[in-house]
Chains A and B, each alone.
Chain A
Amino acid sequence: MKKVFVGCCLIQICFMSGCARVKPYEREYLADPIMQGETQFGKQSLEDKFFSTREGSIGGAQGIGGGCGCAK
């Protein structure tokens, strides 16, 4: 599994070094509402909460959650 993590890091580094810098005035599309993620301010989204209480996996999303008896 370490290989997966290292692989992801390498891909990221390649992108960082290989891609052109995106200037502030070129970010119109990136600022569009449909490009925004689901992350809420420090909070696990309701969808993530649904999946984490019905599946054996958690983590990998930006929000922080837990503290629910349903996830025993």
Chain B
Amino acid sequence: MIERFKAQFFLKAFFVFLTFEILGVGFLFSQDQGIQYTLYYFSDTGNNSVLTRSFNIVKEVFDKTLMMIDIEVDQVEVPPIIDGATGASRPARQHLQSFEKSRGQVIVGLERFLGDNTTLGGNLYRSYEADYASLSAAGIFRQSLFQKNTTLTLRGQWNKDEVGEITKDDRYLGNWKRVYTGGGNLTQLISPTTVLEINADYIMMRGFLSDPYRLVKIENLSPNFERWLEHHPDERERKAVTVYLRRYLPGIKGGLNGGYRYYWDDWSVDSHTAFFNFNKYVFKDLIFGLDLRFYSQSQAFFFKEDYQKASLTTNSYISADYKLNQFQSTNFGVSLKYFFRDLLSQFQEHDFLENLSVEIKYFRYFNDLNFAGNIVQASLLYSLID
């Protein structure tokens, strides 16, 4: 009996992983128990590309205790000369040639249910790349109120980052950075078809907040110009509030989500983000989705397109980071999600695949700084709840 069980288990595991490998995609996962493998590919108008593979499992390990393990690997490719529009840093020794870079990330988390209405959780996060490392601890407290009509979530995170620099003579220089995040979420059921959600975050960053490789063009009176290393303030206080409204539309078997985020910080960057999402069942097991997002931000108080040497001192803040410039962006996406439940339930020997679903997304992102990118994301989810 045990042997038969073992054989079935390994057969199931083999089937699931074989399916994922054939499709070249992975699982998608939410707070429910499940396994998720996601493949994410980004390329932009500057021929930069990022390939991300993410594996995630959430399983009940003890009574009322969920454990999460998440592993993510990024592969970044940046062509010669063009500065890293991916945002990825480029070691000084490779500033004239294309380079490839890998980044790994591991998250281990536990979530414990204390009674019917209270959840306590925490996770540890570690990421590493050749010239950047991060260690993080996060905690979360969730309380349901009023017969679970209202849910309050509080969360906090502490990051200890090392911003590295690989010099032209291959030496490594480390700079420290700390990030403290506190946030909350309030979710309210408005009606049997409508949910309102409010998120608020406070983020304090301290330490080295510049890119150690990025150079800023400085104009002087002579025909030539100089290039200085970027220099940002060593503290940044950031705040964001987001309001979401999600509504189910029974008449068309669809759902409409809308939201707005306001962000502001003490570098005088503030932004407005509006986003809409529409999902509809094409038929029972297939969901079609449309996403639209508009974003607009102001520029940091020290950002300029042209810096004049005469007006600068060695302590002046200067930046060549386009993320601190004023710009607007638009993001448009389509998605398809298919549940295998009915298709595979016809085959009794494969009925364990009833819990399988696949999702494919495509996004087109562009801004008014002549930057555009394409994103393809494919995920496969295997739910561990019957």
| A→B interface (CB under 8 Å) | 1, 4-5, 8-9, 11-12, 15-16, 19-24, 26-30, 32-37, 39-43, 46-47, 50-51, 53-62, 64, 66-72
Contact = CB atoms under 8 A, between A and B. Distances in A.
A11 B84 CA distance: 42
A55 B136 contact: no
B199 A61 contact: yes
Contact of A53 (B87, B189, B243): B87
B258 interface: no
Interface string B126-170: 110101101110101000001111100101010101011000000
A54 B324 CA distance: 10
A43 B70 contact: yes
Contacts of B70: 40-41, 43
Contacts of B46: none
B161 A67 contact: yes
B248 A55 contact: no
Contacts of B123: 42, 64
B196 A12 contact: yes
A56 B264 CA distance: 10
A12 B186 contact: yes
A4 B241 contact: yes
Nearest to B211: A72
24 contacts: A12-B186, A16-B146, A30-B189, A30-B248, A32-B255, A34-B289, A40-B70, A41-B70, A43-B70, A46-B54, A47-B377, A51-B331, A56-B323, A59-B240, A59-B263, A60-B201, A62-B185, A66-B159, A66-B181, A67-B161, A68-B105, A70-B84, A72-B87, A72-B209
A22 B144 CA distance: 13
B354 to A, nearest CB: 14
